[in-house]
Amino acid sequence: METLFVYLIKVNAALVLFYLVYVVLLRKDTFIRLKRHYFLAAIVFSLAYPFFTVAQLGNLISFWQADKVVETRIVVGEPQMTVLLDEATDAKPVPIGKILFWTALAGTLVLSIRIVWQLASIFRIRLRGRKRLSEGIAFYRLSENIAPFSFFRWIFLNPGSHSEAELRQILAHEQTHVRQWHSIDIMLAEWLCAFFWWNPAAWLMRREIAINLEYLADNAVLCTGVSSREYQYHLLRLTYQETGFQMVNKFNVSQLKQRIMMMNRTKSPAAKLAKYLTILPMAILLITANSAYAQSTQPSEPTKYQDNSLQDKKPKKVGQSEEVFSMVDQPPQFNGGVEALFKFLSDNLVYPKAALEKGIQGHVIVNFIVGKDGSIDSVAVVKGIDPSLDKEALRVVSAMPKWIPGKHRGVAARVIYTLPIAFELGQTVVGTTMPLSVAISLQKQPVFPGGKSGYIKYLNETIKYPISEMEKNGQGIVSASYKIDENGNVYDEKIEEGASDALNDAVLSIIKKMPKWETGSNLLVEGKVTDSNAKPLQGASVVVKGSTTGTISDADGNFYLVVQESDNPSLSVSFVGMKSAIVDLTKITPKSVGYEVKLPIVFRLVGDNVEPLTGEIPKDAVVVTAYGMKK
């Protein structure tokens, strides 16, 4: 529907523009044949141009904005539980888009029925009328006192209501409509108003099209030698007659004064024909705007920045998620608590015979979503061991009864849960007192002035694509690093993997210009969880006591977490089947060594004459995009 709305906006904007140009520049001249072509071209072009784009024209606008295309974001670790808020909430927003769509459709339907009804009425008149000839011109005789009119190849009139001289003028007038196929213009204008009835320009353009066709027919009558004064008196005598149809070529119309003025108007000089050339820059302008819009909405790689000293520990997404949060006000609970959950799993899990015979054992890590009503869905294995063990874990987790749903900001929320299940030969372990070990180091995390948003703003405003590289279509990936000492000073900036000298210098320049970092109150916690045999434990839960902030260990047992030093934090580290450990962070002295930051930047050009950038793009890179200038 969004695509349809965009199309309608483009078409109607073009119609308004063409009508305004007509009113300002063209309405008062006497080039009536050229006006007809102007209207037809304006309508056809307005309907068609949204489907056409020219990359070179779009690049003109995009190039001027090339230094503003960099967008950045910072990604840090995710907690064990992730809140998934649906788009629908208790207070449903009014669907304005749908209301507008159905209103527009209803108006179009009504006007379409009106057009069909008028067509049917014309056919009924055609069936009632008797075909006659007058001076070699065929027409359908009417008995009603209806003003003469024509529709495509048919002419309708009541010869008994007109003198012989008037009849010749009427036939000459209507024959012009028939010969020049003026009904095509009328039908096009009618359907234009039906589909775009909310646009005043469509109705105004229809009126101008109709009166201009009458100018053409009047001119044809006068060219036969009929006296202008006599013909105008004839029109005045017919003003009281109406056809009742809007979409026919009528001998008399309500704009009679305009027709008489046009007959008496002095011919416009040929020099004024140049005004009609304005349609060309208008068409180019509209196609350029459409091309630039098409380029701006093309999907591209998201541009982001991540401090590589904090690795992305985002858990695998399960099911459909909408908006992801790192904290939940009230986490979901199994009825009866954790012990009841362990008991349910212990009572229901069965060691698969196939895995038992093969001597297979290990941990199966399962993700699932606790819904707003507490139901369990989107169950999936994050890390499996053997198909039989994976299937058993999925079966039991899927069979869990409803939980007490979690809440976020007072609203029921969907929450992702991670549950490791340890299968050991001879037993299925869900909760025992096996020991686990936690090794932790702390480091004070410096803060860029203004925090994360300040860092992102600095990168956006500072990173520029070197003009010299754009001119020769130079591209590349530059991986840089720098350190921050305990006083916040940036030092030891270097290129670890570079591209051209210009691109390398551009990256080093923004690092050297970087302001002094501030001493923050955050602690970077880096740790590793192992079992009694020093084997890494994946999926161990690490939670800051007294809060819902936390994370889980990766495949190597490592985890990374940022906590507030002022909160005197302690960590609770647990793993299903093992005894939990409590770590008091206040008893660990933070390191005072330099803080290293990785900064990969990708310089990439787009355009018709640019070869695509090759090579693997770093996951956490800042992507700087510009348009190639080489001819």
**Cα–Cα dist 200/616, whole Å:** 53
**Cα–Cα dist 205/192, whole Å:** 9
Give Cβ neighbours of residue 558 (< 8 Å, ≥ 6 apart): 526, 527, 528, 536
Q: Tell me if 300 is assigned to some domain.
A: no
Last residue of a domain, one of 247, 264, 281: 264
Are residues 336 and 409 part of one domain? Answer: yes
Helix (H, G, I), strand (E, B) or coil at 15: helix
Are residues 363 and 449 part of one domain? Answer: no
Distances (CA, A) of 627 to 67, 217, 452, 482, 507: 10, 54, 29, 29, 19
Task: List residues bridging with 439 in a β-sheet.
Answer: 528
Residues of the domain holding 237: 96-264
Name the pairing type of β-strands 376-383 and 550-552.
unpaired
Which pLDDT value is given to residue 44?
Answer: 92
Q: Tell me if 77 is assigned to some domain.
A: no
Q: Tell me if 75 is assigned to some domain.
A: no
Last residue of a domain, one of 239, 264, 289: 264
**Cα–Cα dist 415/411, whole Å:** 12
Which pLDDT value is given to residue 30?
Answer: 84
Are residues 538 and 497 part of one domain? Answer: yes
- 502 burial type by CB count under 10 A (0-12 exposed, 13-18 middle, 19+ buried): middle
Residue 385's Cβ-side half-sphere holds a number of Cα atoms within 13 Å equal to 24
Distances (CA, A) of 437 to 44, 338, 532, 535, 623: 75, 21, 7, 10, 40
Write the DSSP string, 301-338: PPP----TTS---PPPP-S---EEES--SB--B-TT-H
Q: Tell me if 41 is assigned to some domain.
A: no
Into how many domains does the chain fold? 3
CB 590 within 8 A of CB 443: yes
**Cα–Cα dist 149/511, whole Å:** 79
**Cα–Cα dist 606/57, whole Å:** 14
Are residues 466 and 505 part of one domain? Answer: yes
H-run or E-run covering 28: none
Neighbouring CB atoms inside 10 A of 156's CB total: 24
**For tokens 């489907």, what's the residue?**
51
Are residues 424 and 468 part of one domain? Answer: no
Which pLDDT value is given to residue 261?
Answer: 79
**Cα–Cα dist 153/523, whole Å:** 86
Are residues 509 and 399 part of one domain? Answer: no
Which pLDDT value is given to residue 237?
Answer: 65
First to last CA, the chain: 39
**Cα–Cα dist 433/438, whole Å:** 15
Are residues 457 and 347 part of one domain? Answer: no
CB 485 within 8 A of CB 491: yes
Whole-model pTM: value is 0.44
Are residues 121 and 246 part of one domain? Answer: yes
Which pLDDT value is given to residue 487?
Answer: 80
- 455 burial type by CB count under 10 A (0-12 exposed, 13-18 middle, 19+ buried): buried
Nearest to 213 by CA among 171, 241, 157, 251: 251
Are residues 518 and 427 part of one domain? Answer: no
Give Cβ neighbours of residue 31 (< 8 Å, ≥ 6 apart): 268, 272, 273, 276
Residues of the chain with pLDDT under 50: 62-92, 253, 298-327, 426-433, 631
Are residues 245 and 155 part of one domain? Answer: yes
Greatest Cα-to-Cα distance within the chain, rounded to the nearest angstrom: 117
CA 293 from centre of chain: 11
CATH (domain of 387): 3.30.1150.10
Which pLDDT value is given to residue 566?
Answer: 67
Show the tokens assigned to 449: 């002035």
Are residues 529 and 422 part of one domain? Answer: no
Cα angle 283, 287, 112; round to 5 = 80
CB 306 within 8 A of CB 74: yes
Are residues 454 and 398 part of one domain? Answer: no
